[in-house]
Amino acid sequence: MSTRTGCSLTMGPGASNVESVTFRSETCAIPSIVLNDGNVIPQLGFGVFQVPADDVFPVVTAALEAGYRSIDTAAIYGNEEGTGRAIRQSGIPRDEIYVTTKLWNSEQGYDSTLRAFDASMQRLGLDYLDLYLIHWPAPSADRFVDTFKAFKALKADGRVRSIGVSNFRIPDLERVIGETGEIPAVNQIELHPRLTQRELREYHAEHAIATEAWSPLGQGTLLDNEVITEIAAAVERTPAQVIIRWHLQLGNIVIPKSVTPSRIVSNFDVFGFELTGEQMAAITALDNGGRVGPDPSTFAAGLD
């Protein structure tokens, strides 16, 4: 995995030949990460969690107009149709937009995964997917290994460029790798200054798994934190911009979300400044293990 800025590209350990790249990162002003399969993902994306289906078309349109080139949705969000329509009607070539969706818990299992993928692609109205993620491990159901085997089949068929997981713990990752023979390209996890996931990120680095952060701002709970606001004042940026910049400098892929046009633009404006080592350390020191989302070891919504 490695970081790419502008038109230069440096390969990292675990990354294969870049000829397999389908997302045309050379047209994108956002730094990119080279995944362990050789494909490239923008380091800053736009998430549509909790964006109502009726609102997602103008929201995604605004994000694309602001410069985002990576859009992250999921079957359970109920907004794949509007997300896909905004992408298709944007006027931007398909290979310049990186698209991620996720498989919901109730669809885990080999055959049901294949059916769920077809349904997601029909809603999105796209010919292929850049990244497909297992949304949660749901370990009590014990289906995620068979699910990932179905993901491998979709990748082999060329319908998905990269396959990964979300909210997986180290034991879950070890099972997937050990029983399928394939290392996920990405693990999308809850990650913010109050939950830095150091041990999991170290495991990712050892196995060339890209770390992607959902709820990167801690659902707004950090925006009035004194440490964050003092740093924001010092660098003349918003608290949200400071936190997003912290993620980028850690090497995380980050997918903030907003339905407010001004914040969509503001959250994208994070490449004209850098945090010092001292500022980075001060933000990291806010870690207290506090989650804003469910515990992946027990979360089983959608299961019978």
Q: Among residues 167, 191, 156, which one has the least CA distance to residue 37? A: 156
**Known catalytic membership, residue 128:** no
Q: Looking at residue 250, what is its pLDDT?
A: 98
Q: What DSSP letter does each residue of 20-84 carry, written as one string?
A: G--S-GGG--S-EEE-TTS-EEESB-EE-TT--HHHHHHHHHHHHHHT--EEE--GGGT-HHHHH
Question: Is residue 103 classed exposed, middle or buried when 0-12, 13-18 and 19+ CB atoms within 10 A define those classes?
Answer: buried
110-162, pLDDT tens digit by residue? Answer: 999 999 999 999 999 999 999 999 999 999 999 999 999 999 999 999 999 99
Active-site option among 68, 77, 98, 132: 77
Report whether 49 contacts 71 (CB < 8 A).
no
75-115, pLDDT tens digit by residue? Answer: 999 999 999 999 999 999 999 999 999 999 999 999 999 99
Residues of the chain with pLDDT under 70: 1-22, 25, 304
pTM: 0.93
Q: Looking at residue 299, what is its pLDDT?
A: 97
Q: Looking at residue 24, what is its pLDDT?
A: 78
Determine if residue 135 is labeled as part of a ligand binding site.
Answer: yes
Q: Looking at residue 26, what is its pLDDT?
A: 72
Q: Which domains does the chain have, with CATH numbers?
A: 2-284 (3.20.20.100)
